[in-house]
Amino acid sequence: MPGMGKMKHVSLTLQVENDLKHQLSIGALKPGARLITKNLAEQLGMSITPVREALLRLVSVNALSVAPAQAFTVPEVRKRQLDEINRIRYELELMAVALAVENLTPQDLAELQELLEKLQQAQEKGDMEQIINVNRLFRLAIYHRSNMPILC
């Protein structure tokens, strides 16, 4: 329709999946934590179907494991897995930084500097959740400026 901007529709499944990914990334869901589909659906005020679909998506990428009684658990991450993830991320981030440097504007540099200052403040306070959040924002800012949409 003329005059209307594009509208974004995010499915309930995707909303739940993104929220759970965020909870996993900040450590709010610890290894061994048990997620019961019905309880989670009630907590979120929605039917079981989108919750179950989101949980199964996370199982497909090994972020969760299936447990008995319509439940899922957060798996233990082994040192070998963590080392592999860190090596892959390191290489991708080197490439992203090299590409991003070519595209940075003074405004981009100011934004990155501000994020680094927020990260330093969070570290001084020992605020792990804030450290993780700001670190993630900093990395995403670099990824976006690398012009590699898949990485974002």
pLDDT in tens, 91-132: 999 999 999 999 899 999 999 999 999 999 999 999 988 998
Percentage of the chain with pLDDT > 90?
Answer: 75
Is 5 inside any structural domain? no
Residue 104 domain boundaries:
79-145
Q: Dihedral through CA 124, CA 22, CA 31, CA 37, nearest 10?
A: 150
Tell whether the model's pLDDT for residue 1 goes beyond 70: no
Which pTM does this prediction carry? 0.66
d(CA 99, CA 112): 15
Share of the chain above pLDDT 70, in %: 93
CATH of the domain at 26: 1.10.10.10
Question: For the chain, where are the E strands, in sequence order?
Answer: 34-36, 65-67, 71-73
Nearest one of 96, 93, 95, 106 to 145, comparing CA atoms: 96
